Structure 1
Amino acid sequence: MIVSLLYRATRALLSVPAALLRRNTAKHAELLVLQHENTVLR
């Protein structure tokens, strides 16, 4: 029971930075796509 609780707490703590990193990566990818579209449209 305690091990399961520790596992869940650790997993929750580690998922926060992963979600933030994923969000930043998605923003970066979107910027690259928009820059490419801009170049093509010019």
Structure 2
Amino acid sequence: MRRAFLHIEESLSSMARKALFLFSLLLSFTLIGFSFDRTEYL
């Protein structure tokens, strides 16, 4: 029982890490896009 719980916790943490990584990538891309849009308007 405890071993299964630890395994579930590990998979959840790895999923959270992947989600965080994807979110940071998306955020950086949107920031880059916004900066490019600003330079075009200027």
| Unpaired runs of at least 5, structure 2 | none
| Unpaired runs of at least 5, structure 1 | none
Q: TM-score scaled by structure 1?
A: 0.71
Cα offset, 1:14, TM superposition: 1.1
Aligned pair 1:30/2:13, yes or no? no
Q: TM-score scaled by structure 2?
A: 0.71
Query: What's the RMSD between the two structures over aligned residues?
Result: 1.2
User: 2:40 — aligned with what?
Assistant: 40
User: 1:19 — aligned with what?
Assistant: 19
Count of residue pairs the alignment pairs up = 36
